[in-house]
Structure 1
Amino acid sequence: MPHRTEGKPREMAETEITQDARPVSTTRKILGWCVHAFTASGLAIAAVILYLLVRGGPDAFRWSFLLMILATIVDAVDGTFARAVRIKEAVPNFDGRRLDDITDFITYTFLPLMLVWRAELIPAGYEAWLIAPLLASAYGFCQVDIKTPDGYFLGFPSLWNVVALYLYALPIPPWPALYILLFLAFLTFVPVKHLYPSMPGRLNRFATNTGALWGLLAFALVGSLPTDAAPEFTSTQRVLAYVSLIYPIFYMVTSWYITLKAWLKPARPAEEVASAVG
């Protein structure tokens, strides 16, 4: 799409056009493709997780969770790299955001739900209900206005990797586990403002800082998971799971508080709004 130059001096418009047309250096192109390759490494990680879940074995679930954490780290930092090299200028004909969405859907939704099935965390014979969170997540990923103008994520984020971890690590019976999955899938369609740690805002910054600590606890929890296919958790592992659960609870409670506060805030009269705008 051409840049608009109306209302600008001719010299300034010509300068912008010249700068836009300036060729991108080979180094930046290479760096741009390196960033895309880094994002695509999430798909390679996903392939290994899929192999582990299909193969099974005494340590398949623990290694799957560890690799999901690695995929989350890749997703968390690739945007920073992309902005550093100005990726859209370096590689204009390749949509890295679409690659990122594909990778995220697989690693945040598809594989965690597959792990729930393989680990038999929900009642036997009711595995088809896992299609509900799968489709709900697809709906969320395809929403154009999923991110609000004031810096929040609208609807339940597709953090099924986190959900799967706690369904696995906590002594939650199969039926309540299924109800939790279906309830969270339903919340995908509810316009609740959820914290978006990478966006500006005091609460988002607090979520980022505390989320880093939670990430260390989650890594320690996953690293301590038993290797037996039918795990027997120690009291220390259970305590670690409950302590680390504080952050997800804070995340959900705070998100609902922000939303309810906005819903219950009285609407401003039309004349007052018009006066404020004027």
Structure 2
Amino acid sequence: MATTKSWAVHLLTASGAGLALLAALAVMRGAWTEAFIWLGAALFVDAVDGPLARTVRVGDLVPWFDGAILDLVIDYTTYVFIPALILARSDLLPPSLAAPGAVLVAVIGALYFADTRMKTRDYGFRGFPAVWNMVVFVLMVFMPPPLVSAAIILAFAVLSFAPVEFVHPVRVQKLRPVTLAVTLAWAIFSLLSVFASLEPGALVLAGLGATTVYLTVIGAVLQFTRNENAY
């Protein structure tokens, strides 16, 4: 029975590959809202499979099957590769920069996933943690001028290898209740944006923008205050 539960968790993780394929098919049709629905479903799976795996103790029950590798494969596909595909196929970037921008995201994301120093001592992330699915989603909702989008993509690519910390919304203890609340609010505003076919009203845009800014900068703020207190 316990082994069955272990395989059920692994199957749940692997379902992210199917969700990624459905998202890719939607991208090829230019069905952006549908693509983000599948990516959102994959994000939900990624949020719940880790706690389930630790509860069931999948590593002890099926020690020859590496769920961490499976998780990394799925995460790269849904967090990096599909968002890069969206960049290549949408109008977010100038036409001459669409393919190069997508390649940049795919390559930088692959390098980041192989960096064993990505986690900090308090379980945050060192450098931008390759959550390109969220970056591309927010850009698709706000649709800034293509050159602005290109500048944002380049900035996050550079930040991937910068000594700047980004918060893990669940595991970082400092300000955890606030960060969890903001993360939940971000998810709600994102859902409302999807329900509005990526064209929400001003209130939702303001909420999505404010929560995005918080989640983007709070890690660096905590890093700065920690360093200041060290002196």
Supply the distance in 1 between the matched residues of 2:26 and 2:109 (Cα, whole angstroms).
23
Gaps of 5+ in 2: none
Instruction: Choose the corresponding residue for 2:176, options 199, 204, 207.
Output: 204
Secondary structure, aligned partner of 2:217: helix
Question: What TM-score does the superposition give when structure 1 sets the normalisation length?
Answer: 0.78
Aligned length, in residue pairs: 230
CA RMSD, aligned part only? 1.7
Contact persistence 2:189–2:208 (CA under 8 A) = yes
Question: Would the aligned equivalents of 1:136 and 1:189 in 2 still touch at CA under 8 Å?
Answer: no
Aligned residues: percent identity?
28
Question: Does structure 1 retain, via aligned residues, the 8 Å contact 2:80–2:130?
Answer: yes
Quick check: 1:32 aligned with 2:6? yes
Compared with structure 1, are the counterparts of its residues 190 and 46 closer, same or farther at alpha carbon in structure 2 (3 Å cutoff)? Answer: same
After superposition, residues 87-98 of structure 1 pair within 5 angstroms as: 87-98=58-69
Alignment of 1:220-239 (within 5 A): 220-225=192-197, 233=199, 237-239=201-203
1:158 corresponds in structure 2 to 130
Among 207, 220, 231, the residue aligned to 1:256: 220
Matches within 5 A, 1:1-278: 27-56=1-30, 60-127=31-98, 128-225=100-197, 233=199, 237-264=201-228
CA deviation vs aligned residue, 1:240-261 (integer Å, no higher than 9, x gap):
1232121110122222212233
Structure 1 residue runs without a partner (length 5+)? 1-26, 227-232, 268-278
Q: Does the 8 Å contact 1:52/1:64 carry over to 2?
A: yes
The two structures have a TM-score, normalised by structure 2, of 0.93
Contact 2:124 2:172 in 1 (8 A): no
Which range is displaced more, 191-200 or 254-263? Answer: 254-263
What is the Cα deviation at residue 198 of structure 1?
2.4
Q: 1:87-118 deviations in whole A, cap 9, x for unaligned?
A: 11111110001110110111011101211221
Amino acid across the alignment from 1:191: P
Question: Aligned partners of 1:238, 1:176: CA distance in 2, in Å?
Answer: 20
Q: Secondary structure, in 3 states, of the residue corresponding to 2:169?
A: coil
Deviation at 1:219, TM superposition (A): 0.7
1:201 Cα deviation after fit: 0.9
Other structure's SS at 1:245 match = helix
SS at match of 1:202: coil
- Does structure 1 retain, via aligned residues, the 8 Å contact 2:185–2:211? no
Work out which of the two has the higher radius of gyration on C-alpha atoms and give 1 or 2. Answer: 1
Is the contact between residue 225 and residue 237 of structure 1 (CA under 8 Å) also seen in structure 2? no
Offset, 1:157: 1.3
1:266 deviates by: 5.7
C-alpha contact 1:166 1:241 (8 A) present in aligned 2 = no
